[in-house]
Structure 1
């Protein structure tokens, strides 16, 4: 139970101190997919312009929230200290809220272009935390059960999915139909490192009797599956090199796929689709399952007057009503698949408009976000602006991106919300991707653009 308490505490800190959202779109970064090799992670149907590409180690992160910073923390008039105010957060909550973190480090990327396609070799380290919860949970945190006497508090919408893993793989993209169709695929060997998730169908409710104020608590499938966390939380129980050995190689392996396609409908119109992270991790090593048996119990309270350790007595009284245990059973989880749909209109060989839709399937829901983007190329610079709409949060953001080709060196950066630098407390999203590539042999493959100038038609 000690490890379980640490797990719950760590989860709470991550959720309420970081507060990131689930719409991990990377729209501005996606818009560089014709230029930057690392965008293969979003669109596998990528063929570079240079013969040989070497990507230096880079990193990217995305931070979004259902709460703006001013909703998350506040301070009383005349007070210099900030605090988390659950009443303010309750007012900002939707009926269903989904939040997450997403961090990706590209360890290396090597690409080689052929006459009709391209090959790539890559390695990444990735981490994400996704949380889904209903407004009832925030109501309980803000007011306890005081506003639900004679009614039920439903916590069944609460789910968590945290994943850390590294991947190494190969990719190939090939052109068909006289170069009008490009199809790409990536095969990845994934090694799972750290994981925590609630079991499928986990649910819980709390009913307060209006006559005697007793609680009726019901739990079903109340299991939290973890892997690797005991190694982190109880490192003193293991050999000094246990963590590094586990991180380098373990039995939590699987094969996953990324698929993508682009089709040139007309000389000035291209449509495309991509499905990323298709696969399932089988968690076999360093597995811990924290289980509470399906039960419905009534808690009427206990007599605390005269007891020296009243808080401990109350805690023991609650714990004794539930049958909990810890097991080490293997389990499997699907990777949080992500999909993109896009249509690009080339006004000239240097000007492109794109409409993009994105959906994260971590909780098997369809609630997409959208973006409209414009990119322009001048000399060795390509830059763009982008407006995005996050469906789940009904929020509009303004982004930008930039990619350069200065000799063999390429520098790129992208963000979906450039306004956060002005008044960060008014926004709930922050993301940034940047990197440096070495690209050789561009002139060998450069040719006159297939895009046409509509004014000439």
Structure 2
């Protein structure tokens, strides 16, 4: 029973704190800004305006984002009347008409990055550290957390769909961008994935019912059909003192592969269409896999007895968890399992003025989640007066955060480049009032190429001049 309670306690702890270690993924503003080499992350067909690129280790690309579909910080922490202090108030979130919400966080850092041109082909390679976490919660779960079960006697609270998804990996990538025909570039990137850790819950059926009991007063009936997959977290789940960060980052037990493909088609001198599919692949978790599942479809809980005067060995919370775990009867197996990456889709259209200094783009971006498809729309204007500088203003629409004005720019001062993009500029002014925020910045070393135009003329295929 003690082992089961340790597992339950550790799983709850991980679900609560893992998202705090990562800062949804940005990139809507920078899509199409081909003057930034890292724009190829969203579309491997983009070819940088340089013959050689060296990314400063751990500084060439740092991106992070957060997206909460239900509330912002200001929605749940409100001032007390007549006082400047803040207090937690979940009244607004639980009034949401959405049955299931989620809190998504992503961070990606390029540890190493190198790119160079070979004839008309541009090759990129590097190592990217990626952390993704997503916590799903039903509206009924928020009601239970905030209001308890006293107001819901003889009513069933539906928790099905609540859960967590966390994935930490190193991405070793090799990409190629090349011309395939007149006015069309293709890009392909293969990724070897080193899975560091994973935590994923599945709750086919999870519900709570508080009903009256003539003898005991009240009885809590829980439907407990759940399953939790973990890998790379065994030390944290059993004995955190045995966890070794060195062993964690050097473990190559969990492996996977993914593919990124893209196209960049130029329609005359002023129009272009790009499309890409990113993160199509899987990771197989061989390193210390654990799957925890409930052995009972339904349990009944009537409370615990605790004597503060005699029980000195256990705290009330430990007694409570021990009682719950004895009812849940958590099963454990060590079978290998696989997870699918959350594939992303981008479709973009661009219009350029004749002097190439102004451009407009309209972007559709989507991501396949566990049982849904999340999409965003983005419209941007870019002003590039010279090869040394460009700035972009952008508007992005997300379903639960419809108002996002973004900004992006880069400066080239040979041989260095500094760039920065954000999808929601208001987050820099008032971050606590935003449901969505994301940023991306970095420093590169660029060795210029003789070719600098954003889109070649009709007499060019890639970097090759074609006689008319």
| Shorter-chain TM-score range | 0.7 to 0.9
Q: In structure 2, what is the equivalent of residue 455 of structure 1?
A: none
Q: In structure 1, what is the equivalent of residue 222 of structure 2?
A: 217
Tell me the CA shift for residue 74 of structure 1: 2.5
Q: In structure 2, what is the equivalent of residue 49 of structure 1?
A: 49
Deviations 1:64-107 (A, max 9, x none): 32322211323422445433323343235732212211111111
Structure 2 CA distance for partners of 1:303 and 1:421, relative to 1, 3 Å = closer
Q: In structure 1, what is the equivalent of residue 300 of structure 2?
A: 298
Q: How does 1:241-390 map to 2 (within 5 A)?
A: 242-301=244-303, 311=316, 315-348=321-354, 349-379=356-386, 380-390=388-398
Partner secondary structure for residue 38 of structure 1: helix
Return the match for 1:198 from 182, 198, 201. 201
Q: Are positions 1:6 and 2:10 aligned together?
A: yes
Stretches (4+) displaced over 6 A: 17-20, 302-307
Q: Are positions 1:106 and 2:114 aligned together?
A: no
Q: 1:18, 1:247 → 2: CA distance?
A: 16
Q: In structure 1, what is the equivalent of residue 29 of structure 2?
A: 28
- Bigger strand fraction: 2
Q: Are positions 1:188 and 2:191 aligned together?
A: yes
Structure 2 CA distance for partners of 1:195 and 1:43, relative to 1, 3 Å = same
Tell me the CA shift for residue 204 of structure 1: 0.5
CA RMSD of aligned residues (A): 2.7
Q: Are positions 1:237 and 2:242 aligned together?
A: yes
Q: Does structure 1 retain, via aligned residues, the 8 Å contact 2:194–2:256?
A: yes
Q: How does 1:432-447 map to 2 (within 5 A)?
A: 432-443=439-450, 445-446=451-452
Q: Are positions 1:40 and 2:40 aligned together?
A: yes
Q: 2:286, 2:42 → 1: CA distance?
A: 29
> Is 290-299 or 188-197 further displaced after alignment?
290-299
Deviations 1:373-429 (A, max 9, x none): 1101112211110011111x1421101000122222211110111122333332222
Q: Does structure 2 retain, via aligned residues, the 8 Å contact 1:38–1:109?
A: no
Q: 1:296, 1:448 → 2: CA distance?
A: 62
> Is 66-75 or 277-286 further displaced after alignment?
66-75
Q: How does 1:48-87 map to 2 (within 5 A)?
A: 48-57=48-57, 58=59, 59-66=62-69, 67-79=71-83, 81-87=85-91
Structure 2 CA distance for partners of 1:192 and 1:14, relative to 1, 3 Å = closer
Tell me the CA shift for residue 284 of structure 1: 0.8
Q: 1:18, 1:148 → 2: CA distance?
A: 35
Q: In structure 1, what is the equivalent of residue 464 of structure 2?
A: none
Partner secondary structure for residue 130 of structure 2: strand
Partner secondary structure for residue 192 of structure 1: strand
Q: 1:377, 1:130 → 2: CA distance?
A: 37
Deviations 1:189-241 (A, max 9, x none): 11011110013x53201122357542221122x12111122234634336xxx
TM (normalized to structure 2)?
0.86
Q: 2:118, 2:319 → 1: CA distance?
A: 72
Structure 2 CA distance for partners of 1:229 and 1:303, relative to 1, 3 Å = closer
Q: Is there any run of 5+ residues in structure 1 with no aligned partner, and where?
A: 453-457
Q: In structure 1, what is the equivalent of residue 428 of structure 2?
A: 421
